[in-house]
Amino acid sequence: MKKSSKGFLSDLLLSIYPLHCLFMREFSEKLLAWYYDVARELPFRVVGKVHPNPYHVWVSEIMLQQTTVATVIDYFNRWMTRFPTLQDLADADEHDVLKAWEGLGYYSRARNLHFTAKDLVDNYGGQFPSMSKELVKLKGIGPYTAAAISSIAFDESIVVVDGNVCRVMARLHMLPEVAKALEESARLKAQKVMPDHHCGDFNSALMELGATLCSPTSPSCEDCPVQEFCKAYAKNKVDQFPKPKPKLAQPQKYGKVFWMERDGKVFIRKRTEGLLKNLWELPWVEIDSKEFDQIDQKPVRHVFSHFKLGLKVIDADLESEGIWVEKSKLLDYPFSKLMLKVLGTKS
Ligand code: SF4
């Protein structure tokens, strides 16, 4: 029987590329073609070529951890106005760095950005290493951020695995794992379809797919560029992947905050340790739920990554270590999001 020209072509391609190579090429080509068509314009994103500024990639990737793109855009633009180059950040005062980060949370990220900027200027000639295995040696740069910088700014063929990529891979391959084990399986699966070039675009495309079409609760599979590769879709089991993580109960903690005001000045102190080190705060102490309930004030509530905290503000006049600041100048100091909420009750 005479073969069609299409059949002849696929036979020829198969004789040149093994089947899995064709699969990989087709997957990445379809994903990239879709991404080039729909990629959202973002101030820290460059599409279709290697990003020329690893400093921008680094700052944006650190900001994007635990924070939405919509929130990061404003912070990123303000940050780049304040510290346009790595050298500017290295030369900055920590007070200004924390102030620029105020409200983003996880303040060790800002302190590490500052530390590593100085390290890069002092010990690396102001240049970023181009490989993730070198980047990961820098303070505050873990495997995720290292892979993001090296693939986006230096075209290293290494996958970046975030929650979006985990979800996409879990559905494409019906991966049964959860949490860290899922992250590792997703990494192996994604690395297999990673191209040798356009690596940053490929990573951004996978994350974009997870952030837009392959969403947690109502994925738009009909518009998905890689639907034909998706096992969960083929078996009508999209809603069963990824498998849910067991929920951990978050402990509830309570505290009382001392509002001390004299002659138009308010007393604040600088934290000397912990996650909020070097940020300013009103003095406060942890109390039990019974004492908390007895204070007749509306509480300020905040959810941290591992616990929830309720605070009630009381007027006080105590002796403590700290400084008195004009009430109108309070916001010149960097405060945590929680303390900004507390200050909001007194404005
Ligand atoms: S087909 Fe649906 S579930 Fe599968 S990857 Fe695409 S959007 Fe996600």
Comparing C-alpha atoms, which of 233, 234, 200, 212 is closest to residue 28? 200
User: How distant, in Å, are the alpha carbons of 47, 104, 278, 306, 313 from that of 275?
Assistant: 35, 13, 9, 12, 22
Closest atom, ligand 1, to C-alpha of 223: 7
Q: What is the pLDDT of residue 84?
A: 98
**How many angstroms is it from 325 CA to the middle of ligand 1?**
54
Q: Which ligand 1 atom is the nearest neighbour of the CA of 227? A: 1
Residue 62 Cβ contacting ligand 1 at under 6 Å: no
Pocket lining: 149 vs ligand 1, CB cutoff 6 Å:
no
Q: If you take atom 4 of ligand 1, which residue's CA is the nearest one?
A: 230
By mean pLDDT, which of 15-19, 114-118, 130-134 is the weakest? 15-19
- C-alpha 225 to ligand 1 mean position (Å): 8
- Is the shortest distance between the CB of 227 and ligand 1 below 6 Å? yes
Q: Relative to the CA of 230, which ligand 1 atom is closest?
A: 4
Residue 97: Cβ within 10 Å count: 22
| Token code pair at residue 241 | 């992947």
- Tell me if 168 CB under 6 Å of ligand 1: yes
61 is catalytic: yes
| Span 275-309, pLDDT tens digits | 889 999 999 999 999 999 999 999 999 998 789 99
With the CA atoms of 33, 64, 229 and 150 taken in that order, what torsion angle do they form, in degrees rounded to the nearest 10? 70
Query: Ligand 1 pocket, 170 CB below 6 A?
Result: no
**Domains of the chain in sequence order:** 12-240 (1.10.340.30), 252-344 (3.90.79.10)
Q: Which residues contact 344 (CB under 8 A, 6 or more apart)?
A: none
Q: pLDDT confidence of 5, banded at 50, 70, 90? A: very low
Task: Give dist(CA 232, CA 219) in Å, integer.
Answer: 12
> How many angstroms separate the CA atoms of 113 and 275, rounded?
15
Q: Partners of 265 in the beta sheet? A: 262, 326
Q: Is 214 in the pocket of ligand 1 (CB under 6 A)?
A: yes
Q: In what order do the strands lie in the sheet with 300-303?
A: 284-287, 252-259, 308-315, 300-303
213 CB near ligand 1 (under 6 Å): yes
Q: Does position 117 have pLDDT exceeding 70, yes or no? A: yes
Kindly report, residue by residue over 141-159, the tens digit of the pLDDT: 999 999 999 999 999 999 9
Minimum-distance ligand 1 atom for the alpha carbon of 167: 8
Q: How far away, in angstroms, is 226 Cα from ligand 1 center? A: 7
Ligand 1 atom showing the smallest separation from residue 238 Cα: 3
Question: E strands along the chain, which residues?
Answer: 252-259, 261-262, 265-270, 280-281, 284-287, 300-303, 308-315, 323-326
pLDDT tens readout for residues 217-239: 999 999 999 999 999 999 999 99
Q: Which residue, among 274, 346, 267, has the nearest Cα to 304 in the 3D structure?
A: 274
| Predicted local confidence at residue 274, as pLDDT | 85
Q: In a 3-state reduction of DSSP, which class is residue 175?
A: coil
| Percent above pLDDT 90 for the chain | 84
Question: What pLDDT was estimated at residue 301?
Answer: 95
> Which residue's CA is the nearest one to ligand 1's atom 2?
221
- Look at residue 10 and tell me whether its pLDDT is greater than 50: no
The alpha carbon of 240 and the centre of ligand 1 are apart by a number of angstroms equal to 12
- For ligand 1, whether the C-beta of 212 sits within 6 Å is no
Q: Which residue has 């006049």 as its token pair? A: 317
Cα–Cα distance between 92 and 67 in angstroms, integer? Answer: 24
**Catalytic residue selected from 29, 41, 61, 94:** 61
User: Residue 337's closest CA among 101, 62, 61?
Assistant: 101
